[in-house]
Amino acid sequence: MVNGKMVNDQMVNDQMVNGKMVNGKMVNDKMVNDPINDKMVNDKMVNDKMVNDKMVNDKMVNGKMYHTILRLGVFAILAAVIVLLFPRYNNAFRYHYEIGKPWGYATLTADFDFPVYKTDEQMEKEQKQLLSTFAPTYNYIRGMQRQVLIVSLADHDWLIQNGFGRIAVMQGRVSKTFPLSEVYTPKSAYEQFGANFQEANLLRDTILTDRMREKLLSSLSPTQGLVQKGEKIIEKGEIVTERDYQTLQSLRRSYDDEKAGHRQRTLSILGEAILVVLFLCLFVVYLYVFRIQYLRSTNTVLFFCLQMLIVIALACLAIRFNLSVYIIPFAWVPVLTRVFFDSRTALFLHFTTILITSVIVPAPVEFFFIQIVVGMVAVSSLSDMTRRAQLVQTAAWILFAQTVAYTAITFAQTGDITSIDLWMYLYFFICALLTVGCYGLIYMFEKMFRFISSITLVELTDINSELLHMLAEQAPGTFQHSMQVSNLAAEAAKTIGANALLVRTGALYHDIGKTVNPFYFVENQTGAENPLLEMEPREAAQLIISHVTEGEKIARKNHLPEVIINFITTHHGTSLVRYFYNTWCNAHPDEQVDTAAFQYPGPKPTTKEAAILMMADAVEARSRSLSDFSEESVTEAVNTMIDAQIADGQFAETPLSFKDVEDIRRVFVARISAMNHHRISYPTLNK
């Protein structure tokens, strides 16, 4: 009795709370019947949820912004490094020309007066002519006889080797010149004049000789003419002669003078930087418009930038050390990109690379023309690299294409067969050999960026590999199921334009986790009782689900690529183990079901290939329960399984279209009907 009122455990409105009454009613700890408090609690929960959601959203936005800035920063760093790598000599004079080739720029006129310098060969020839009249200076040695001119044997040899035909002998402050024929060595003087003349009496005056020699050479002019401001140097399309070449070299030398070329150098570097940034921005725009998924991957952005940096750096080194830029394997860029990505991106990245390189190479028009041909041939001949021999074939086609392109452009520009530089064909051959060496880079980039190539996929599909051999040994039924699923999935992938080789490989490994407890799965049971039927449904469901987690462990232990592991974890998505889920629900109709106990951990598929595998896995398993393989029954089974997966939202995160799904259904019906066709029974032989 409380306040004259009976209270018991069954009363709803009058409940005891620490022996207290509120407004004539007993209340409980949760104050269930107080609407004001309920509203306050609910409002607080809503506000907390809004705050938490806002924090999560802000964190996601900040994370995306950080990664976006990081990826754009990679391109910015690449641009800066490339500009720093560019050769810094002759920066103000950005023309490229060769003797015998047409001038590929607008008509060039002199912006200022500059001298035309002599060539090194001319200077050396004139110096020799001038020095032939020069006479080294000698002094008499005190105490020696002077009637005969005698020099040491070493001096005599030096005079002959340097081409001197006479010597100057100082006599007081006056020098007198004597021909070399009148100069003796101690031996020849002894033989000619006897014992009184057997020692040298002349000593070379090295200081005075060098001084006189330098004074003589300084009188030699290094120039051979003057080009005045406004004077035409060469017209567009005109063939560069030796005289034109020397004039252009003289102009280049004038630009190299610090006083004359400082402003031009600054503007040149600025122009280079703008061009590099422009070309990289165009590539980023291409990725944003056509391949946004590549731009969202930091690994992919790093891969693209590293390729460009390697090839451009090699080109800069070749130019610095006066090597031909044509030995650099620019085909690496389209080949490597095509192995891991698509042809369009490979070609666009190659164009970006050669555009940047053409800023610094000699004869940029010729270079760009030849390298465009290289890129197109590389991409066209390597549509899908699954064998090492394909790379050799590609290198051979590149060699052929470079040879033809160079020969054709030389004939078109000069019309003279003698203009062909035979060394170019050797450079092309070296480039082809280096292109074959790209095979090692494929493996390196796979490990660095966790990509996967067609070559690796082909190696993984080898059923004699250790992991697939283990699957065939320990779970033969699962192995056969995986083989059938791989055939179904590959055919569907071909139909909708997905990666058939990738999905085939993923299908072979998707059930590798069943090797842990193979006999708990019906395909590996040979007439024996199913042990799962004797287990509690939740326990049985967990054992079935474990083949996904166990498969992931086995795959990581055996270092399978991440993209293959993704097939293992997503081939059931977040679906339920329906058999045991329905069994438990039927056995406990009045109890709340814990779906987590019957649900695969996921995640859901996010690619076309992963979605195809999920469909193929379910459809192939369902087909094994069919007794009638008519087109109607197979179609119904296929539609039932796929419709259930769609209704469950398993493909919500994939880029599959309605048309893709319909095409996949049609392929599955045709393939399952073909795999389970009936044969006629053979008649027995009557005896």
Cα gap 16→5, rounded to integer Å: 11
| More confident site: 309 or 98 | 309
**Residue 681, pLDDT score:** 63
Cα gap 35→23, rounded to integer Å: 14
Q: Which of 292, 397, 285 minimizes the C-alpha distance to 348?
A: 285
Report residue 7's pLDDT band, with 50, 70 and 90 as the boundaries: very low
**Residue 217, pLDDT score:** 86
Query: 366-383: per-residue pLDDT in tens?
Result: 899 999 999 999 999 887
| More confident site: 630 or 665 | 665
Cα gap 488→658, rounded to integer Å: 19
**Residue 31, pLDDT score:** 41
DSSP-derived 3-state class of residue 453: coil
Q: Region 335-345: what's the mean pLDDT? A: 93
| More confident site: 676 or 128 | 128
Q: Is the pLDDT of residue 59 over 60?
A: no
Within 81-151, strands assigned E span 108-109, 114-117, 137-140, 149-150
Q: Region 236-247: what's the mean pLDDT? A: 86
Q: Is the pLDDT of residue 23 over 60?
A: no
Strand partners, 149: 183
| Residue 295 near residue 288 (C-beta atoms within 8 A) | yes
Q: Among the ranges 16-30, 138-152, 367-381, which has the highest mean pLDDT value?
A: 367-381
Question: Among 48-52, 189-193, 208-212, 219-223, where is mean pLDDT lowest?
Answer: 48-52
Strands 114-117 and 223-227 turn out to be antiparallel
**Residue 189, pLDDT score:** 86
Strand partners, 169: 138, 176
Cα gap 246→646, rounded to integer Å: 76
**Residue 12, pLDDT score:** 36
Strand partners, 96: none
Question: Among 34-38, 379-383, 447-451, 547-551, where is mean pLDDT lowest?
Answer: 34-38
Report residue 264's pLDDT band, with 50, 70 and 90 as the boundaries: low
Secondary structure element (H or E) that encloses residue 169, with its range = strand 166-171
**Residue 63, pLDDT score:** 58
Query: 420-444: per-residue pLDDT in tens?
Result: 889 999 999 999 999 998 888 988 9
Cα gap 59→56, rounded to integer Å: 5
Cα gap 340→453, rounded to integer Å: 6
User: Angle 364-381/388-414 helices, nearest 10 degrees?
Assistant: 150
Q: Which residues contact 595 (CB under 8 A, 6 or more apart)?
A: 576, 581
Cα gap 558→432, rounded to integer Å: 36
| More confident site: 558 or 147 | 558
Question: Among 256-270, 286-300, 400-414, 617-631, where is mean pLDDT lowest?
Answer: 256-270
Mean per-residue pLDDT of the chain? 85
Query: 595-615: per-residue pLDDT in tens?
Result: 899 999 989 999 999 999 999
- Helix-then-strand count for the chain, H and E: 25, 10
Report residue 21's pLDDT band, with 50, 70 and 90 as the boundaries: very low
In terms of Cβ atoms closer than 10 Å to its own Cβ (0-12, 13-18, 19+), residue 395 is buried
**Residue 90, pLDDT score:** 44
Q: Which residues contact 295 (CB under 8 A, 6 or more apart)?
A: 71, 284, 287, 288, 301
**Residue 89, pLDDT score:** 52
The percent of residues above 70 in pLDDT, for the chain, comes to: 87
| More confident site: 27 or 132 | 132
Asked whether the CA dihedral 524, 527, 528, 532 is positive or negative, the reply is positive
Q: Is the pLDDT of residue 153 over 60?
A: yes
Question: Among 14-28, 301-315, 488-502, 616-630, where is mean pLDDT lowest?
Answer: 14-28
Q: Region 172-187: what's the mean pLDDT? A: 87
Q: Region 337-356: what's the mean pLDDT? A: 95
Cα gap 53→65, rounded to integer Å: 18
How many other C-beta atoms can be found within 10 angstroms of the C-beta atom of residue 627?
5
Question: Among 25-39, 58-72, 124-138, where is mean pLDDT lowest?
Answer: 25-39
| More confident site: 605 or 59 | 605
**Residue 503, pLDDT score:** 96
**Residue 361, pLDDT score:** 87
